[in-house]
Amino acid sequence: MKWEKFKPPEPDDPMCCCECDVDPHGCCCDCDDLDEACSRWLKGEPQKPDCVLPVFGAVMDRLRVRLLPGDRRVELSMVPALVLLPLLLRLAALHFLLGLVILTALPGLVLLYYYATHRKKGRTLFFLSLALFSLAYMYFLFVTEILPRGDVSHLQLVTVTTGVVLTLISLVRTKRGPGFVQPSLAAIHSTNQSQLPDKHSASQNEVDQSMMPASPAKPVEQQTQSLTGKGGTCPLCKVVRPPRAGHCRICGGCVQRLDHHCIWINSCVGKANHRNFLLTLLLFLLTSLYGISLVLRSVCPRQNLLTALLYCPGVYNQYSSALCFTCAWYSSIVTGGLLHLLMLQMINISYNLTEREAQLALRKKNGQSRLRGLVIDTGVYSRGFWQNWAEFLTMGEPTDRHPSALTDLV
């Protein structure tokens, strides 16, 4: 890359639109990538492969629409979930082969989009909007297609509705924040004092240091390590983080007892929201499994629930039944993926291990593989099955947790 891209801007240089959030008409940009892409487009030349993603990301980030309060950004990552999901599901209900191809290719497309966005280490609303819209669309089809058949009682409808509402409430509680590490008052005070030197104090310190013998720096480092355990100081945040805390490059901060950054909630999972995250998974899975069973009993009444997904004769004779059967298959695929995630979470909790610690143990090769590779046991924090779960369930809320704004909930 060119060195000019990394040099600090001069005072008289025009500010790039990706660095300014004040200009409401900031769609035009003098970035090198956009300039090169526009010139190639005007000349009719093919675009470079490594230039397409930055240009597309800049357009998505800076696209605005004028609303009542003012100019606001439009998240284009929400459009595929809101438009393509119902379109693909209704297209898959037309024929058995179409349904097989679409339901097989849909997880591959989601994984492809995940790997494309994971390289940029940026936040995206695609997966959160896909999860929320899938839940809302499945409930909408349940009310409009299954309920008029008369096979669902009012108690079953109340049960499904309660499960959906509790899942959303638990998701909102999870989105309140993972528990970021905040700088201590002593660290802030010491930083301010270091930025404002005093001549008298500096001369007095020189006199004191000349009278006192020189002390080595090792005891100070050892004292810091004894206070912070294995946490240390984050090289990016410059904050003293407690043990088991980690820095998330996507959220841009250190999280207490960081487990992982979950793309499905567009947030980190840490000490403050790990229990709520586990509860959200559990509620979603129970509601999904119960809803799938009700749909299959209505669409395939003569088949067993365990075999109805694999063999349901005559289901494609009516479009309404085919659509419900296709949505049941789609819900089963999503439920299977989240069930795998829930199983991994419960295994890690049983060993008092976070996903971040498991990945670090794999990288450093200092952990033992158990349960055929499902969990990596480091043996550092594990105190037995029951004590590990008791520690997780009674884990206190961070004392420096600040409430998130309404914009942070998405």
Give the integer Cα–Cα distance in Å for 152 and 146: 7
Give the integer Cα–Cα distance in Å for 351 and 383: 8
The verdict on whether 262 is a catalytic residue reads yes
**CA dihedral angle for residue 344, residue 349, residue 350, residue 356, rounded to 10 degrees:** 70
Give the integer Cα–Cα distance in Å for 166 and 279: 10
127 touches 112 (CB < 8 A): no
Which two tokens mark 273? Answer: 């929201």
Give the integer Cα–Cα distance in Å for 293 and 303: 11
Helix (H/G/I), strand (E/B), else coil: 138: helix
DSSP conformation class of 377: E
Quick one: which of 185, 66, 297 has its CA closest to 309? Answer: 297
Output Rg (C-alpha) for the chain, integer angstroms: 27
Helix (H/G/I), strand (E/B), else coil: 64: strand
Give the integer Cα–Cα distance in Å for 2 and 10: 17
**In the beta sheet, which residues pair with residue 368?**
377
Q: CA angle at residue 273 from 268 to 276, to 5 degrees?
A: 120
Give the integer Cα–Cα distance in Å for 370 and 86: 41
Give the integer Cα–Cα distance in Å for 308 and 141: 19
C-alpha distance from residue 144 to each of 122, 140, 249 (Å): 37, 6, 43
Quick one: which of 266, 280, 264, 294 has its CA closest to 166? Answer: 280
DSSP per-residue string spanning 221-287 = HHHHHHHHTT--B-TTT--BPPTT-EEETTTTEEETT--EEETTTTEEE-TTTHHHHHHHHHHHHHH
Q: Which one is catalytic: 17, 29, 262, 327?
A: 262
Quick one: which of 352, 353, 356 has its CA closest to 247? Answer: 356
| Catalytic sites, residue numbers | 262
